Amino acid sequence: PLLWTEADVALWLQYIGEGGLTSCFDVINGVLLINLDEEQLTNLGVTNVSSRKKLMVAIKEVKERSQKV
């Protein structure tokens, strides 16, 4: 994830079923992704609470996997 480009993040969003949010993440790469918090997701335009919660869980999983490598 640390080497993910913006395009990789877009693919990941599709993989987790949140592809509709791709435009909110158009400047987010892997390093930025794993450091996002819920407030930053809101600022990016993720207004749906359940989407934010789902993203926070998925981001945590990605972050944990990146630290094991």
Tell me which residue has tokens 């987010």. Answer: 28
Residue 27 one-letter amino acid: V
* Its pTM surpasses 0.75: yes
Cα separation of 18 and 66, whole Å? 21
Query: 44: helix, coil or strand?
Result: helix
Instruction: Tell me the pLDDT tens digit for each residue of 23-65.
Output: 999 999 999 999 999 999 999 999 999 999 999 999 999 999 9
Instruction: Tell me the pLDDT tens digit for each residue of 4-24.
Output: 999 999 999 999 999 999 999
Query: 9: helix, coil or strand?
Result: helix
Cα separation of 34 and 19, whole Å? 17
